[in-house]
């Protein structure tokens, strides 16, 4: 049987030589511009180091489908088969996104060591928190020692600094052992500037369209069938070979595809087929700023058929309400009415004017859209790391306000996603960091970062240098904070809210029209009713009395002074009546109540 591990698609090559374990073996072109070794290979079961010499070059370059880059993106590839090491998660049946809670993490800053194996040691913390999925920021191989991962160039390889592919396999197994699914963040809209050798093999990129990152991935031009297959095979690798439960697709608006069947629709169909084969739920989540329901509309109804999409409108509404910050893209979200709209409509910009963009933006979600299809957060890597100094809301909010953010997020009808450390109010920033070894790239990254903040009105002078290693190290979580009472109390609030979310079915009722909201700008209060559950929030600095119809008990509160049946005289909400019960809500606090359905 022919060994196909070294076959490579290379329509740009005139000659190709396989550099294998120090030997050079000629290759020949076959159908479809695939190249294969000219002679049969007699190899043992050990790993093999290899690369390719294109058109008489003297330095081999890595395999576009390399599974392992032990010496970095400029070094030789190494064979790796995850099936060679028996998997230990045979009893894992997967998790559905509906009703789940996600936590996002960056491997390099999640622990002091910054590896997948050290991350395993912290999974018990996530299990006790009650999350259902970890969403891992990109782990594909990139140039340098540390970075966010969005400038990867070897999509099939796991960054060696994190431990490589074997460590990734151990991490997935460890998550499944604890009942936690894995969502992997992947980037198919562009490639990083250093270590990208794909152009020597074939037309992976095209200048037919333009993006903020330069040339686009060739999804619709000549020879794009194989480029699309490259992406589809990468999706299959994560979900099938590495047992991953879902993928978060980065910046899908930059996947510019003019073909009749969009690449996203093709991926959704592939994953549906694979899900039926592996017998466990598989999830595709799009990161999109388009507010376009087509992403999560079924292909039968003319959509792309993805399972879910990020929705930044929730973040912006919560952030503005709690911080008062209204610069840049936050401007449209001023006032409690914006938060109320997001909680009942899903999108704020649903065809409305976006002053930041200077145009109308978005489209309304259909009324029967399942709310869990929107992934929301009060903090995530983008909304923290893309601020000038990478500051979390912990830096500006009081403990009471942080608890309110947790309550809004974890009692929302959407799929909540925490960001690592959010659950205890981590004070460490998450700044943008990189480690480009090329001086010209380092300079361009630093200068470009400063230029990004002009429209937000942020002071460029305070932007940390992404190439300074201290920018990376100060972004690492400080786990000793958990020993401090104020952090331990917030962690308990997150645990209670996640447990409450799991107990009370009305919290996760998946219909937009199941929620009603009463907001009072004058009093700084918000009351959300969803079935037999009421979420009451006092954003103000004064104690408030909210009159809640048919309230029977307080299920949860961020302040132990919250109580039913005591009048304070600072009244807001429903008028006095036989079925109306007053709720005393301290300043900057929230409570979840049960109400009778009668």
Tell me the pLDDT tens digit for each residue of 257-305.
999 999 999 999 999 999 999 999 999 999 999 999 999 999 999 999 9
Residue 253 is assigned to a ligand binding site: yes
**Cβ-count burial of 155 within 10 angstroms (0-12 exposed, 13-18 middle, 19+ buried)?**
buried
| 3 state DSSP class of 291 | coil
Residue 554 is assigned to a ligand binding site: no
Report pLDDT for 294.
97
Residue 243 is assigned to a ligand binding site: no
Residue 251 is assigned to a ligand binding site: yes
Residue 390 is assigned to a ligand binding site: no
The percentage of residues in the chain with a pLDDT greater than 90, rounded to a whole number, is 86
Catalytic, 287? Answer yes
Residue 459 is assigned to a ligand binding site: no
Judged against a pLDDT cut of 70, whether residue 82 lies above it is answered with yes
Token pair recorded at residue 386:
């893309």
pTM: 0.96
Within 8 A by CB and 6+ apart from 229, the residues are none
Residue 386 is assigned to a ligand binding site: yes
The percentage of residues in the chain with a pLDDT greater than 70, rounded to a whole number, is 94
Q: How many whole angstroms separate alpha carbon 586 and alpha carbon 543? A: 4
The better pLDDT of the pair 358, 44 is held by: 358
User: Which pairs from 149-153 meet CB under 8 Å and 24+ separation?
Assistant: 149/106, 149/185, 149/187, 150/187, 150/192, 150/250, 151/191, 151/192, 151/193, 151/194, 151/434, 152/187, 152/191, 152/192, 153/73, 153/191, 153/192, 153/194, 153/195, 153/196, 153/197, 153/198
From the candidates 160, 220, 287, 518, which is the catalytic residue?
Answer: 287
Residue 314 is assigned to a ligand binding site: yes
Query: CA torsion angle for 128, 131, 134, 135 (degrees, to 10)?
Result: -150
Provide the mean pLDDT of the chain.
Answer: 94
Residue 382 is assigned to a ligand binding site: yes
Residue 381 is assigned to a ligand binding site: yes
Residue 313 is assigned to a ligand binding site: yes
Report pLDDT for 501.
98
Token pair recorded at residue 174:
């460890």
Q: How many whole angstroms separate alpha carbon 312 and alpha carbon 285? A: 14
Range 161-167 average pLDDT: 98
Report pLDDT for 193.
87
Catalytic, 250? Answer yes
Residue 132 is assigned to a ligand binding site: no
Judged against a pLDDT cut of 70, whether residue 572 lies above it is answered with no
For each of the domains in the chain, give its residue range(s) and CATH number, in order of start: 8-78 (2.60.40.10), 102-502 (3.20.20.80), 522-595 (2.60.40.1180)
Q: How confident is the model at residue 46 (pLDDT cuts 50, 70, 90)?
A: confident
From the candidates 154, 250, 422, 506, which is the catalytic residue?
Answer: 250
């Amino acid at each position: 049987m022919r060994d196909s591990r070294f076959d490579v698609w290379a329509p740009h090559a005139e000659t190709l030589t396989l550099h294998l374990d120090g030997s050079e073996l000629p290759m020949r072109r076959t159908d479809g511009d695939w190249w294969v070794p000219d002679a049969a290979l007699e190899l043992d079961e050990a790993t093999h180091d290899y690369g390719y010499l294109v058109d008489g070059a003297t330095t081999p370059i890595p395999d576009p489908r390399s599974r392992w880059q032990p010496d970095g993106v400029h070094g030789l590839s190494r064979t790796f088969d995850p099936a060679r090491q028996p998997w230990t998660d045979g009893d894992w049946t997967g998790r559905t996104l509906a009703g789940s809670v996600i936590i996002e993490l960056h491997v390099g800053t999640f622990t002091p060591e910054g590896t997948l194996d050290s991350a395993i040691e912290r999974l018990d913390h996530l299990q006790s928190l009650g999350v259902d999925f970890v969403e891992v920021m990109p782990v594909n191989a990139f140039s340098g020692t540390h970075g966010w991962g969005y400038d990867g160039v070897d999509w099939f390889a796991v960054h060696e600094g994190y431990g490589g592919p074997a460590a990734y396999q151990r991490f997935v197994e460890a998550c499944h052992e604890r009942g936690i699914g894995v969502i992997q963040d992947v980037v198919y809209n562009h490639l990083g500037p250093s270590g990208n050798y794909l152009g020597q093999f074939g037309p992976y990129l095209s200048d037919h369209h333009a993006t903020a990152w330069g040339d686009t991935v060739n999804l619709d031009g000549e020879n794009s069938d194989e480029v699309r297959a490259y992406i589809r095979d990468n999706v299959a690798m994560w979900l099938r070979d590495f047992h991953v439960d879902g993928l978060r697709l980065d910046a899908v608006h930059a996947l510019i595809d003019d073909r009749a069947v969009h690449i996203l629709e093709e991926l959704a169909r592939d994953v549906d087929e694979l899900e039926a084969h592996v017998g466990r739920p598989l999830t595709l989540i799009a990161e999109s700023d388009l507010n376009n329901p087509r992403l999560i509309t079924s292909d039968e109804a003319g959509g792309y058929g993805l399972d879910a999409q990020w929705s930044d409108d929730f973040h912006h509404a919560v952030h503005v309400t709690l911080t008062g910050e209204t610069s840049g893209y936050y401007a449209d979200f001023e006032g409690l009415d914006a938060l109320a709209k997001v909680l009942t409509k899903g999108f704020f910009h649903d065809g409305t004017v976006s002053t930041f963009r200077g145009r109308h933006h978005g489209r309304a979600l259909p009324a029967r859209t399942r709310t869990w299809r929107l992934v929301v957060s009060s903090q995530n890597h983008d909304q923290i790391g893309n601020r000038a100094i990478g500051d979390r809301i912990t830096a500006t909010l009081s403990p009471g306000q942080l608890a309110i953010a947790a309550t809004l997020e974890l009692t929302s009808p959407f799929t909540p996603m925490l960001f690592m450390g959010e659950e205890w109010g981590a004070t460490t920033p998450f700044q943008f960091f990189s480690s480009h070894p090329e001086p010209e790239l380092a300079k361009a990254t630093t200068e470009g970062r400063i230029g990004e903040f002009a429209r937000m009105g942020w002071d460029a002078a305070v932007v940390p240098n992404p190439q300074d290693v201290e920018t990376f190290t100060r972004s690492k979580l400080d786990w000793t904070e958990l020993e401090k009472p104020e952090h331990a109390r917030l962690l308990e609030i997150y645990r209670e809210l996640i447990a409450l979310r799991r107990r009370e079915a009305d919290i996760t009722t998946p219909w937009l029209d199941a929620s009603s909201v009463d907001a009072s700008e004058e009093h700084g209060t918000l009351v959300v009713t969803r079935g037999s559950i009421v979420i009451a929030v006092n954003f103000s600095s004064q104690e408030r009395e909210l009159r809640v119809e048919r309230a029977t008990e307080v299920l949860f509160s961020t302040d132990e002074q919250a109580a039913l049946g005591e009048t304070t005289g600072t009244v807001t909400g429903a008028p006095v009546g036989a079925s109306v019960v007053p709720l005393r809500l301290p300043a900057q606090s929230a409570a979840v109540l049960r109400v009778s359905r009668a």
